[in-house]
């Protein structure tokens, strides 16, 4: 150990002596912000694995979008994704895009299937040291993050000849986040806190690999449904329906537009002042409202965002990240006050600290 220190010191002194003329070896210039490429597996016409009412393509996108939010909120990084919506991307697109962008690392997020249980992760068959470092930084953190929520089997660090691992020119790791066709795993994948913990752990692994410091993003994620006791209020003018299979939970509420204050409110107990991502989920129908106002009570006043409820039903749609004050209060409203025609719909809200 002492010899190593002495050697490092001599090397450092030698490097400093020549620093005016030559760059210090071993310290390649890196862009001010490391470039992180996130690849949510599957999408569009390729649903990936399915089971227990879940689709791989939706889970990978959910984890990946949260991963991006957590990275951007906590560290100085650039993030690019192979997709941010439910669209089809070829494997070649994913790796070409990451290579062209000049990513510093590539993480592909998947859900397993085939009747096993637990978490496993992959690097390419002949990985270099940097890839191995990324793999070693990610895997144990993801396991620990998952186990903060539930029992998860560690299936280990593996290697495979996957396209996204082989064709990327930067360190690349692919994670298989539990088995969609195993009930115990699926039950975890259905939990918002598990998805967020998985995303956080990926972020921590990436930050550790990049040497960005040990910021630990706090965990908080909650879903409020229109049926959640004590957390949803709407007047009798709001009907209840289970018409659309895209609903969250048993039913949703709907009302005709009208120029009056008769909003449906979702109440959320915010644990601490900070930045939170707010998402809404609603069934979609061509006859629903194109401009449904959503009011968010932020730390600096109310903000209103309009949601087109004619499409993108049955998925979490981000309204953005907002600075919120601590406390239990009505946080998100769906307003009827819109000049567009068609029902406005209130179904569910998800709030996640980033």
Distance of CA 222 to the CA centre of its chain: 14
Dist. CA 157–CA 244, nearest whole Å: 42
| CB-nearer residue toward Zn ion: 162 or 209 | 162
What is residue 84's DSSP assignment?
S
Least Å distance, CB 162 to Zn ion, is 10
Least Å distance, CB 49 to Zn ion, is 6
Catalytic residue among 56, 120, 167, 176: 176
CA-to-CA dists, residue 140 to 120, 143, 159, 270, 313, angstroms: 10, 5, 16, 30, 35
| CB-nearer residue toward Zn ion: 62 or 251 | 62
β-bridge partners, 324? 274
| CB-nearer residue toward Zn ion: 41 or 118 | 41
| CB-nearer residue toward Zn ion: 108 or 196 | 108
Least Å distance, CB 281 to Zn ion, is 23
CA-to-CA dists, residue 238 to 34, 233, 309, angstroms: 48, 10, 16
Quote the strand ranges of the chain, DSSP E.
35-40, 50-51, 54-55, 78-81, 105-112, 119-123, 154-159, 172-179, 221-225, 232-233, 239-241, 252-255, 264-270, 274-281, 292-298, 301-307, 317-324, 327-334, 344-346, 348-353
Least Å distance, CB 63 to Zn ion, is 12
| CB-nearer residue toward Zn ion: 88 or 215 | 88
| CB-nearer residue toward Zn ion: 166 or 267 | 166
Least Å distance, CB 315 to Zn ion, is 18
CA-to-CA dists, residue 51 to 14, 48, 195, 307, angstroms: 60, 10, 17, 30
Least Å distance, CB 114 to Zn ion, is 11
| CB-nearer residue toward Zn ion: 57 or 353 | 57
> What residues have CB less than 8 Å from 100, skipping those under 6 apart?
none
Reference 68, options 83, 56, 79; nearest CA is 79
What is residue 101's DSSP assignment?
H
What is residue 78's DSSP assignment?
E
Q: Is 167 a catalytic residue?
A: no
Q: 70: buried, middle or exposed (CB in 10 Å: 19+, 13-18, 0-12)? A: buried
Least Å distance, CB 164 to Zn ion, is 10
Total H helices, total E strands in the chain: 7, 20
Find out whether 344 and 335 touch, Cβ atoms under 8 Å: yes
Binding residues for Zn ion, rule: CB under 5 A, are 41, 48, 110
Residue nearest to Zn ion (CB): 110
User: Catalytic residue numbers?
Assistant: 176
């Amino acid at each position: 150990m002492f010899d190593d220190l002495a050697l490092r010191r001599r090397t450092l002194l030698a490097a400093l002596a020549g620093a005016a003329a030559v760059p210090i070896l071993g310290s390649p210039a890196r862009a001010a912000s490391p470039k992180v490429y996130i690849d949510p597996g599957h999408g569009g016409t390729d649903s990936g694995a399915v089971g227990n009412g879940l689709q791989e393509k939706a889970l990978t996108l959910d984890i990946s979008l949260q991963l991006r939010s957590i990275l951007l909120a906590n560290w100085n990084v650039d993030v690019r994704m192979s997709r941010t919506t439910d669209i089809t991307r070829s494997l070649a697109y994913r790796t070409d895009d990451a290579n062209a962008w000049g990513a510093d690392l590539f993480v592909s997020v998947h859900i397993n299937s085939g009747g096993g249980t637990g978490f496993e992760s992959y690097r390419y068959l002949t990985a270099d040291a940097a890839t191995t470092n990324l793999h070693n930084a990610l895997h144990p953190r993801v396991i620990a993050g998952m186990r903060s929520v539930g029992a998860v089997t560690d299936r280990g660090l593996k290697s495979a000849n996957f396209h996204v691992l082989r064709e990327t020119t930067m360190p690349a790791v692919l994670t298989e986040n539990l088995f969609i066709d195993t009930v115990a795993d699926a039950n975890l994948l259905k939990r918002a806190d598990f998805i967020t913990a998985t995303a956080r752990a990926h972020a921590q692994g990436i930050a550790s690999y990049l040497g960005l410091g040990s910021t630990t993003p706090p965990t908080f994620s909650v879903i409020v449904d229109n049926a959640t006791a004590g957390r949803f209020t709407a007047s009798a003018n709001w009907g209840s329906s289970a018409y659309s299979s895209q609903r969250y939970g048993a039913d949703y509420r709907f009302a005709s537009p009208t120029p009056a204050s008769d909003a449906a409110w979702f109440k959320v107990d915010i644990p601490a002042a900070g930045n939170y991502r707010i998402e809404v989920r609603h069934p979609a129908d061509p006859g629903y409202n194109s401009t449904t106002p959503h009011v968010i009570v932020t730390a600096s006043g109310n903000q209103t965002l309009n949601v087109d409820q004619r499409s993108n039903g049955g998925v979490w749609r981000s309204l953005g990240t907002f600075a919120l004050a601590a406390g239990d209060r009505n946080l998100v409203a769906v307003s009827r006050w819109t000049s567009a025609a068609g029902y406005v719909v209130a179904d569910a809200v998800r709030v996640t600290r980033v």
